Structure 1
Amino acid sequence: MKRRELIIGAAAALSVGQLIGCARVDSTQTGSVTSTPDPTQARQPRPATAPPVRALRSAASSRGLYFGAAIQTATLGDSRFRASVARDCSVITPEWAMKWDSIAPSRNYSYGEMDQLASFAARNGLTMRGHTLLWHKSLPRWAASALASNRDWALIDDHFSKVIGRYGSQVREWDVVNEPIEPNHGGNGLRRNQFYQAFGEAYIERALESAKARAPRARMVINEYGLEYNSSYEGQRRLSLLRLLERLRSRGAPVDTVGLQAHLDLRKGNVYADGIYGMMRDIRGMGLKVAITELDVAEANTGLSIERRDALVADETRRYLDIVLQFNNVLGVSTWGLSDSHSWLRTQRSVANRGLPYDREWQAKPMHSAILTAFA
């Protein structure tokens, strides 16, 4: 697709004011979250009941999709978590264990935690998503220092060889570059991270080529967040991502999948259907697949009744999935965790947040039903 055609396609879904508006909103500063404890849940835990009749993986499979979730090594000690993953998932994502600073806090790589997840996946017949090879927030200090002083691509090649060489047989999708977009950094909408500073924009294409050479049968993914809502900032993020994908495709870079993180956030209102639809349409027009990689929902007000909160979370989930699942280039959906008891949102948003399919007692919530309905 030519650049002119791409930009016209994006503009059809996003007005000039929405894409280029003067006000640039930082997505981490829109609204606030009430951290009121969940008194009903604390006062009287609900009794255990039988799991839902239909597993999420079987519902997804009926559509030719996969369902997965991110897991941490620590959660393997929870028998309910293990049982739910084995029941509901066909794919798992290592939440932290495969990130560079986790697997190599020093130059001596340490595979213990990641090996545990890989072993669990193998025992339960699960494949893995490779998350993630390059991310500016998980670059170890020793590697950051080496890149800044030497600008030697051999450091990245060596990292890819170690990680892909050890786990590549279990991985179907590699998040090769995680979160490369940042319009506020100017220029071409790319984040001026450590990799950009060392190698320029070419680092993205080089990373894709390096990973593809080591995993020729796996899908190469650009994984990005902040693409779901109707603000000038997120409009710019959508457009910057589309332009990056167009440049990569025009140069023949081996990117074949776009990872849409889908960290939904009720503080921002409801998802922007036109913007998401236009982005999905243009990605499909480039011949690329889409994976929903990190779905969860941040609540706007945890002071409401549990019933009302769960309904709002489920409705937002359904709104989003109803848009993206209209497109036949979607491969699958992964949530960023399965239970509220094991969610990054507890520390990043509110300890009481209920933004995953199961609550802390492993009872399926309306969000679980919303995902099932979207797969139907």
Structure 2
Amino acid sequence: MSATKKRIVVAMSGGVDSSVTAALLKEQGHEVIGMTMQIWDYSSFAEKNGETCGSCCSHDDVHDARRVAESLDIPFYVVNFEKDFQRQVIDRFCDDYFAGRTPNPCVLCNQRLKFELLLRRARELEADLLATGHYARIEREPEGFVLRKGLDPAKDQSYFLFTLTQEEMARVIFPLGVMSKEEVRAHAARLNLRVAEKAESQDICFVPDGDYVRFLEEERGGGHMDGEIVHVSGQVLGRHRGTYRYTIGQRKGLGLAWSEPLYVVAIDAANKRVVVGEKPHLAVRELRLREVTWSLAAPPGELRMACRIRYRHHEVPATVTPLEHDEACVVFDTPQNGVTPGQAAVFYDGYRVVGGGWIA
């Protein structure tokens, strides 16, 4: 194989982004192999709930990915990662909710399945690279590989990719990172891909109806996390039917009468308590992170960074101090609302991802 022509495995989800990724790489003359992850048994959901599934990685999506691969005349494989997905993503999703945290399963799926297991399968096929349809960029600098935001700010997905290691970034490419969604759909139309107008999935793939409470109770049972709703002053205001039904910042659905609007400000799963308070009680100046990863080596001391505490959260100035045991302390210049244990906090220096971790 020539130095310019490479064997590239494309992670195909059946959507327009990964389909365009495969088509463009084939158009550029590379040897492209399509690969789709089978990660969850959607038939069990449909049987229990009498519904079809419209989330990513469903049977329909696998079918769409196969049809696109056929139209591009490239080899196509489906790899079964259901057991790995259950253990590494779903079990942690449930563990987090029942421990009072609000998880982000998409980060874990990328980390554990796509860029560990799927990358390993790509290497078994002697592929040079693994390509995905993420809107992000990987660039090589003198000190090593660096993850950067996608050029389209509305589609940038670098937040979900902060766990990428140097070894992984050396073998992964994001061809769509320099494009907008409009440009990608234009390519899909030009290439006559059958998914050119396919809608994007907005749901967690294993909760296709959006009812995560139903999912949690089917996985772990209900009734054993019921308890009190308590004001920050200590006054008991009512009862709840499971701490996992609540998340930090929640206002609706509390069913409480109070002189001012109340918000969930803390979840004490150990004591089965949901703590509520007025809006000023949401403001957090400092947080601690666990399982922190750095794009390059961990810095020797504190850094001035921009920090994003949710995918759709605006980055804000902060001081980040690395600690022992892969932890870090983040102090915001201005107190932030919505700091939620279980979510990821990611550090940026302009377009560059410096690192990130899980809010503890």
Report the TM-score when normalising by structure 2: 0.25
Structure that is richer in helix per residue: 1
Which structure: larger Rg?
2
* TM-score, structure 1 as length reference: 0.24
Structure of greater relative contact order (alpha carbons < 8 Å, 6+ residues apart): 1
